[in-house]
A and B are shown apart, each in its own frame.
Chain A
Amino acid sequence: MAMMAPRLQWRLVRRWHRRTLFVSVACALVMAGLAAWQHRLDRKLALRQSLFDRRTMPRHATRRAPAPEPLSPGALRELQRQRLLLVRDWGALSARLAPVASEEVRLLEIEADPETGTLRLAGSAASALQANAYAERMAKAGGMLRRVRLLGLERRTGGVRFEVGAQWSD
């Protein structure tokens, strides 16, 4: 007969009960199995995800590319102006405009319209003769500067202010 064997002991030292040990080992095995299974599923999922991404990415890319909005005429004009600004040979122009050492001329302002090629220079010189000689040298050099004109002379204290206009084509 299975008479009661009361388990009323106060265990001061933790001891592995055989059943507890069995349950723990079983739990550990189950957990290890689940972890392996999860790892396998994760790998499968990652593989499928990469395949999916590979197949869908070009379509997504095409689809996601924003349709270019048509530019307004004003914007197109500005775009063209900017393009022309960029493609001009500013280095060559600067070399041509820079006064030579013998000239007592200082450039104060340059305005260039890249679309039309119109160029306007403002500068100061010791005398009207020197300003004229600067404009003359530019006109004789030819090349990228055409229709060079001395547009104005204005006497100021210590010299003259002059303005030169030209057509820039490179």
Chain B
Amino acid sequence: MGKKSTVLYVATNSWLALPGGMEPIVGTHDNASVADWKGVGTMLRESAGQSRVRVLLSARLCRFGVFPWISSVAPGRAMRAHVEEAFAESHAISTQSHHFEIDWPSYGQPVLAVAYPRTLIEALRDGLVETGHVPSVVDSSMGPVLRRYGARLGPEPALLAYAEDDGMTAVTVEDDRVAKVEMLADSGHGLDELVVWAARKRLLHDDGGLHWLATADKPREFPGGIMALEETGEAMSAGHALSMTWR
């Protein structure tokens, strides 16, 4: 008999496990990379048994890049090297610290890639494996959200923002592809202050192109419309709502 599937949502200072058909289990930590994942695994095993765990990371824990297409780096290996170089320049990260996944583009399209923190994933994997779970896949919150709600955005350039347990994530979509991924803290400063940031986005998009996915209440400063979640159940947090989008 196959193992049950559990979504484990990990944010900067909290985690939430959502075993299939059960109430969520939540916890906090100071540093996700050195958190007691074995304890989490044990807790999960005691309440829901051993399971196949899908890890969902908050966008803030990952790094995103949309890099220009370069025809001379079309072969896969060259493209990967190009992405690694671009991540090193833009985020000062390397394959030593992060695992890069590329959303292989069509010819001539920009290259979308995400960098997953190795230390965190390895700590998570070790803790879960030691307690009998099978960590199967790691995704960022953007993945399930776009797979589930991206089709609603329409053909025009749009921005889809949603709350997470450690801030706010905004995905800009153009020509049916991700053009930019931004993270905002609840209390940003300067250009990152939500009011300023939202005003800037309003210049780039019509109000019809700004969408707030209701993983939490829409901030008053955000000018766009609300996109309701398909789930009818009450979510106890934004992370819980995001976990539910990953069916």
Contacts and interface: CB of A to CB of B under 8 A. Distances in A.
A11 B173 CA distance: 25
Query: What secondary structure prevails in chain A residues at the interface with B?
Result: loop
A2 to B, nearest CB: 7
A52 interface: no
Query: What secondary structure prevails in chain B residues at the interface with A?
Result: strand
Interface residues of A, number: 14
A4 interface: yes
Contacts of A5: 146-147, 150
A70 to B, nearest CB: 73
A17 to B, nearest CB: 12
Nearest to A11: B137
Interface residues of B, number: 32
A148 B139 CA distance: 120
Contacts of B99: 10
B143 A6 contact: yes
Interface string B138-153: 1110110011001111
Nearest to A13: B136
A102 interface: no
B143 A8 contact: yes
A7 B150 CA distance: 13
14 contacts: A1-B154, A1-B176, A3-B146, A4-B150, A4-B173, A4-B177, A5-B150, A6-B112, A8-B113, A8-B142, A10-B116, A10-B121, A11-B136, A15-B136
Interface of B: 99, 101-104, 112-114, 116, 121, 125, 134-140, 142-143, 146-147, 150-155, 173, 176-178
**10 nearest CB pairs, A to B:** A3-B151, A3-B150, A10-B138, A6-B103, A8-B114, A13-B136, A5-B147, A9-B139, A8-B101, A4-B177
Interface of A: 1-13, 15
